[in-house]
Structures are given as C-alpha cells and as structure tokens.
Structure 1
Amino acid sequence: MNSKKKFAVVLAGSGVYDGSEIHEATLALYSISKNGGSYQIFAPNINQYHVINHITGEEMPETRNVLVEAARIARGDIKDLKDFSADDFDAILFPGGFGVAKNLCTFAFDGVDCKVNPDAELALKAMHKAKKPIGALCISPALIAKVLGEVELTIGEDEETAAAITAMGATHVTTTHGEIVFDKENKIVTTPCYMLDASIAQIGDGADNVVKTIMAL
C-alpha cells in the first residue's frame, strides 16, 4: 500500500435512537485507523428529526443539530457534508443508527417512499459514479438502496426491512453476525451490525470486515 486509504465517514447525529449508533461509528473509525487508513468525518448541517431520551425512549421537547451532535463522536474534527468532494477520498462509509433513517433519509417513517437528504444523495452518487467503494452498516444499506437502486446488500435477517429494500430495486442477502455482502460490480460492502441482537465484539467484527474488504480494493 503506497499511501493511506482516505475514508469519508458520514454520521447522522449522536446516539442510536435519533442519530448515529456510537459503537458502530467508533469501531468503524478504529478499524480504519488500525488497518492503516485515515478518515474525515462528515454530517449534514440540519436539525435532527427529533431528540430521544436514551434512557426512557421518550421524545424530548428540544431541537438539536445533526452536525453539532455528530461532532461529539468526531471530537470536534468534522465537516459539513455539503463540502464533501468525491475527488478527495478513496471510500465512503455510513455507520448505522436510527438517525440514518430519520435524518439522512425518512425511511423510518416512509419506508420505500422515503425522501433522502440532498447532501447525502450527492455524496453517494458521486462516489458511485467515480467507482469508489461504499461501506454501510446496520440500517444504512436502506439509504444506499434508495439512492442507487439495483445493488446487492444486507441488513441482516429482518424480513420487513429486507422486503422494503427489495421494493426499492436492490437485492437483499440474508446474513448473520460479522458477515458482509460485497457487491463487486458496484463496490458496495454491507454488514448487519445492530440490525441483529449483537454484542459490541460482533459489531467490531462486522465493521472490521467491511473496512478490510474496502481496503483490499
């Protein structure tokens, strides 16, 4: 490897119920670094759909910004997703969490008919057009399916979500812990993570397998 592979990692907030899943995000960053890559974190500068109390699961009467919240995970080193350029990166990676399906798109509410955040859509399409690898964990493959259509991916074994992904034109492959689906033609690598009842070690395995597969391309 001549130079470090540069990953753009796109976050959707901070916290599984209304933002990015923190274990998936952190372990993906760890894997990129451990395997000799580098990363820049991005998030859209928009308000979260809502804010959830992560103890009670109840909605809270406040407003939070996706970029500001994601900066917690990024330790402040984060850029607005609208400033992303595919020319600057070798790969793009989307950790999971409900924020992907609430903030980056509306899949949590609208399913197959979901709308996609314009900055997220532009970033995905630019990387796909440039034939650069795309990684997605947990629920994030639903976003990939909506934007890119005829691709092969996995969210694990949840039948309802798999059916929605199929309805959006993608091919779903059932997987278990740590397994990946690699769509060679489209350079898309996906793994289920917390779409299954997983341990943090299994999350680490899944993230690592996605990153290593991308690194090998």
Structure 2
Amino acid sequence: MGKKVAVILSGCGAYDGSEIHESSAIMVHLSREGAQVELYAPNILQTQVVNHATGQPVEEKRNVLVESARIARGNVKDLATLAMKDLDALIIPGGFGVAKNLCSWASEGKNCTVSKEVEDAIKAFHLTQKPIGLCCIAPVLAAKVLPGCELTVGDDTECETWPYAKTAQVLKEMGCKHINRSVGQIHVDCRHKLVTTSAFMCNAPLHEIYDGVGKMVQEVLRMA
C-alpha cells in the first residue's frame, strides 16, 4: 500500500482559494508515486471572493469546502474530520486562500492568526514526526505554528522574477531561517520534517513550478 497523504485545500482559485495548478501538480505527483490522497478543506465562508477575470473582489459569499470540491472532483472532506492515525504526511498547496482562509496573513502579516483546525493539523503531524510539505505562500503557516523552523518561499531580493520576495524578509523577522532557493529547488528542515518550495512565488514557466512541486512531493514521501 502506498503512503496516505492529507492535502488541505483553501478554496478554488489563485486569488481567493488554492492555486489550481499547484493543487493539481501535487495530486499528479502523489499519484505517480503510488500515494493515496485524502483531500480536506475547512467548512467555512471564504474571507473574500475575487473575480479572476478582473482580479477585483466581488460582493458574493462562497464556502471554502464547497469551492475546494471543484478541485477535488467532489471528493473532499471537512477538515474537522481529519484523523491523524490514518495518515502518513500532510501537504498544503499555496494560493491566496492560504493567506485569507487558512490564516489572516493577507490582512495582518506576521501578526496573523492561523485557523484552529489548520494549526491543530500542523501541530499533530509535527508532534508525531510525520512530514509536512508546503509550497508557495503556505510556508507562512509553519512560520507561525512552528517557531524557528527553516523554510523557503524562494528568494529574498525583490525583482521581476521574485515579486513577493518581501515575504522572506518578514519570515526572518518572525524568527525563522529563510533559505534562498530557485523555483526548481526545495528546502528540507530535517528537525521539523518540513519540506518547502516556492512555486508561484516565482515568475517562472509552469513546467518549472510543476517540477519544484514534484521534488517537494517526492521528499515528503521519502520522509514518511
């Protein structure tokens, strides 16, 4: 039997939910490695709904679990039902839903709070020494829940290739050790069994993002 991996989604769409390409890449790479995937999402209203054609917020209400079901093809469970004993690893894709629905990073930055269900899940995997994979903006969750951890969100020097590099500086201010990595690389914090990669924090071709996510998945499974 392959490893059983929990993947926590935060909605559907880069600007207000899970980044769809990252989520799909994670599931494809897990499938290729023979892992079983269990998809979860919190049963809450989205903090914000964004029209992805314009990039502008709209006056509309959507549920994170219901929207995540679009990515999961309906096969998604309420995060409140996650059972640690049946799972070998945890992976969380990025997207602004992480910063808006799983925590309050989008509005509060380093002073953010992480939703209790997400914090409980991260702590449970960490305490049982089961690996955690995070990509794109999702490493901010570990920064808040696992103080002093090592991680990467890419590069710490802002430029056209790295438009969100200030995030790395904030993570350093929070007491984390940020390691600069290219989009095709990962960073492994062996002490915390934490694997991170930058994904769409980088302005890179889609296949390079896909490859970096693949390395993250492979290392998480190796550590499981």
- Could you state the TM-score of these two structures normalised by the residue count of structure 2? 0.94
Distance 1:39 1:150 in 2: 29
**Aligned: 1:169 with 2:179:** no
* Residue 151 of structure 1: aligned partner: 149
Shift of 1:43: 0.4
Q: Is 2:127 the partner of 1:129?
A: yes
Whether the 8 Å contact between 1:107 and 1:113 is mirrored in structure 2 is yes
Unpaired stretches in structure 1, ≥5 consecutive residues: none
Q: Secondary structure at the match of 2:179?
A: strand
Unaligned runs of 5+ in 2: 156-163
TM-score (norm 1): 0.97
- 1:111 aligned residue: 109
Post-superposition offset of 1:141: 0.3
**Superposed structure 1 runs of 4+ greater than 2 Å apart:** none
Deviations 1:75-124 (A, max 9, x none): 01011111112211100000000000000001111011001111000000
Of 89, 92, 116, which residue of structure 1 is paired with 2:90?
Answer: 92
User: Aligned partner of 2:153: which letter?
Assistant: I
CA offsets, 1:120-168, max 9 Å, x none?
A: 0000000000000000010000111111111100001144201211222
Match of 1:208 in 2: 214
Identity %: 47
* Other-structure match for 1:102: 100
Give the whole-Å Cα distance in 2 for the aligned partners of 1:198 and 1:46: 32
Amino acid aligned to 1:90: D
State the one-letter code of the partner of 2:190.
Answer: K
Q: Is the 8 A contact 1:85 1:123 kept in 2?
A: no
2:17 counterpart (9, 16, 19): 19
- Which residue is equivalent to 1:185? 191
What's the offset of the Cα at 1:188? 0.3
CA distance in 2, matches of 1:86, 1:145: 21
